Amino acid sequence: MDHAFTETQPMLSADLLRRFDVPGPRYTSYPTADRFVEAFKHDDYVGALQQRAEGAMVGGKKPLSLYVHIPFCESVCYYCACNKVITKHHERAQEYLDALEAEVGMHVALLGNQQSVTQLHLGGGSPTFLSDDELARLMALLKTSFRIVPGAEVSIEVDPRTVSPQRLRHFRDIGFNRISFGVQDFDPDVQKAVHRVQPYDSVRELMVSARELGYESINVDLIYGLPKQHPESFSQTVRQVAELRPDRIALYAYAHLPLRFKPQRRIDSADLPTAAERIAMLSGALSGFIGHGYTYIGMDHFALPNDALAAAKRQGRLHRNFQGYSTQPDCDLIGLGVSSIGRMGATYSQNAKTLPEYYDAIRQGIFPIVRGLALSRDDLLRRAVIMAIMCQGRLEFESIELAHLIKVPEYFRAELASLAPYVEMGLVVQEPGAIQVTAQGWFFVRAVAMLFDRHLQADKARERFSRII
C-alpha cells in the first residue's frame, strides 16, 4: 500500500501552529525514557541479553543495532542538552576507549562473537573529538566483535569545526557510509550567541568532499528558536541548506530549559525569539524545504525524494528508533558508553550518566545500567499503536487486535473519543476499523500519538519535553 502524503506547500495556518505549540514526547521509544525506573539494573539487562542469546524473544531474534556515545567536546555549545564532557585533554579518550572495549567484551561473552549488525551510529558529544587513530581503533573493535553486514547503515555525527576533507576520507576508509553535520544555523550573530562559529563556506567545502567521497547519505541538523534568530535570518539559512542539497535534513525546536541544562544559563532569554517568531520560522522552513523539492518525512525530518527514507515513507515502511525516523525494521539496540540507551526485547535500559559512575561499573565487571524498564502488556500494545501512528500515519484495528488479543474500540474507548476535535480540524479521519492521519494532520502527528500515551495522559507532565512542532 502506498501511504504517500501530499508533497505540496503545507497549508498550515498560524492559528493551527499556535494551537499545537505545546511540549510533548518525540516517541523515539514508548514508554519514553523519563519513565525508566532505577530498580532495573545489571541483572535485568543480563536476563534480557540471555533471552536474546537463547532465541527466546517474542517474535524471534530481531536485527541488531549499535549506538556508541562519545561524550567529549572541546568547547560547549550553549543550547546543548546532550550528555557531554567539555575538555581539551584529548588523552582522556584512551581511558574511555578501554572502558568501551570492556563493555563490548561483556556483551560478546553473553551473545557470542560476530552477531550480525545492520545499523551502527556514533553520537555524542562529538565523536570527531577522537583522533583518526582512536576512531580506527574503535571501528576495529566493533568489527572484530560484531559482524557489520553488507549494506549496513554506518553513520557518524560530525562537528564541522573538527574535521577536514582528509578526515572525511579517513572515516570512509574505516567503514562509515553516512554522515551528519551539526549546523544549527548559518547566521554569524546566532552562531556567536550559542558559542558555535562555523562559516558557511567551510561547511559547504566539507559537504562537497563528502559527496565526492561517496557517502550514501549526508544529513544536516538545524535548530530553530535559538537566541538572535528571527524569521528573515532563518529563511536565509533554509535557502543555504537547500542549495547544499543534503540527502536529509533534521529540523529541531530549541527547548530552553536552563534549570535542567547548565550551558543554557549562558543564553540571555531576552535574545530568544518570541512564540510568534518561532512559529513563523517553522512555517517558513516547512514551506522552504518542501518548495525546494524535499519530502516532509514527519516531525522534524526531511529527505530528497530519491532518498531511502522518502521511499520508506511513500511505501509505508517507516520505523522509529532512538535516532528518529529510520528505514530499519525494529531492532534490538545495544547502547555503548556513558548515558547510552538500549532496547533488548521487551526492555529498555540506560547506562550511567557520569564518567566516574560508568568507569566504576566497568571496573567491577558489571554492566553500567542505572535504570531501565521491563515493558508491560499494556506498554507493548500502546507502543505498537503509537508507532503505527508515528510511522505510517494510520492505525489498522485488525492488525493490533490479532497481535494483542484485544478489541480496539473497547480498549481505547476514551482515546478514540478524544480524537473528535482532531477530526473536526481535518487532521484525522476515523474510518470503520481504522484511524487515518490526513496530509495536514501529519505535521501534528505527535499530538495524535500523545492521546494514546497512558503515562502522559495520567499526569500531564509535559514540561520535560520539547515542543511538538
Condensed to tens digits (0 to 9), the pLDDT of residues 242-262 reads: 999 999 999 998 988 898 888
Residue 351 is assigned to a structural domain of this protein: no
Q: Is 348 part of any known ligand binding site?
A: no
Which domain CATH number covers 227? 3.80.30.20
What span, in angstroms and rounded, lies between the C-alpha atoms of 336 and 103? 7
Give the residues across from 121 on adjacent strands: 67, 155
Q: Is 201 assigned to a binding site?
A: no
Residue 115 in marked binding region? no
d(CA 196, CA 74): 11
Could you tell me the pLDDT band of residue 168, with boundaries at 50, 70 and 90?
very high
The domain boundary, picked from 334, 358, 386, lies at 334
Residues 309 and 405 in one domain: no
255 is known to lie in a ligand binding site: yes
Provide the residue range defining the domain that includes 403: 377-459
- Alpha-carbon distance of 12 to 10, in angstroms, equals 6
- Cell numbers representing residue 39 in the block: 530498580
Is 221 within any annotated ligand binding site?
yes
Residue 2 has pLDDT above 50, yes or no: no
Is 24 annotated for ligand binding?
no
Q: Is 82 annotated as a binding residue?
A: no
Q: Is 79 annotated as a binding residue?
A: yes
Cell of 32: 519514553
Residue 8 covered by a domain: no
Q: Please write down the long-range contacts of 13-16, taking CB distance under 8 Å and 24 or more positions apart.
A: 14/276, 14/279, 14/280, 14/283, 16/425, 16/444
In a domain, 339, yes or no: no
Among 8, 50, 45, 43, which residue's Cα sits nearest to residue 349?
Answer: 45
Tens of pLDDT, residues 294-353: 999 987 899 999 999 999 998 888 888 887 888 887 789 999 999 999 999 999 999 999
Per the annotation, does 73 bind a ligand?
Answer: yes
Same domain, 327 and 203: yes
Query: Are 294 and 406 contained in the same domain?
Result: no
324 vs 330: CA distance, rounded Å: 12
Confidence of residue 3 (pLDDT cuts 50, 70, 90): very low
Reference 351, options 116, 55, 96, 117; nearest CA is 96
Are residues 395 and 330 part of one domain? no
Residue 130 sits in the same domain as residue 270: yes
Residue 322 to residue 246: CA distance in whole angstroms: 21
Residue 36 lies in a domain: yes
Question: Which of 305, 334, 363 is where one domain is finished?
Answer: 334
Q: Work out the pLDDT band at 460, boundaries 50, 70, 90.
A: low
Tally of domains within the chain: 2
- Enumerate residues 6+ apart whose C-beta is below 8 A from 343: 29, 321, 322, 331, 332, 333, 349
Is there a binding annotation on residue 81?
yes
In the DSSP assignment, the letter for residue 374 is E
Q: Is the same domain home to 37 and 111?
A: yes
Share of the chain above pLDDT 90, in %: 73
pLDDT at 272: 95
Check whether 196 is labelled as a binding-site residue: yes
Give yes or no: residues 203 and 317 share one domain: yes
326 lies in the same domain as 425: no
The residue among 158 and 321 whose pLDDT is bigger is: 158
In this predicted structure, what is the pLDDT of residue 333? 94
Mean pLDDT of 37-42: 95
Residue 139 has pLDDT above 90, yes or no: yes
The domain boundary, picked from 299, 334, 369, lies at 334
Give pLDDT tens digits for 44-72. Answer: 999 999 999 887 444 457 789 999 999 99
316 and 417 belong to one structural domain? no
Q: Is the pLDDT of residue 112 over 70?
A: yes
Domain-embedded: residue 358: no
Domain for residue 364, yes or no? no
12 near 284, Cβ under 8 Å?
no
Identify whether 243 is part of a domain.
Answer: yes
Looking at the fold, whether 455 and 314 belong to one and the same domain comes out as no
109 and 161 both lie in a single domain: yes
Look at residue 73 and tell me if it is in a domain. yes
Predicted confidence at residue 411, as pLDDT, reads 96
Say which CATH number the domain at 420 has.
1.10.10.920
Same domain as 392, residue 455: yes
Q: Which pLDDT score is estimated for 55?
A: 79
3-state secondary structure at position 74:
coil
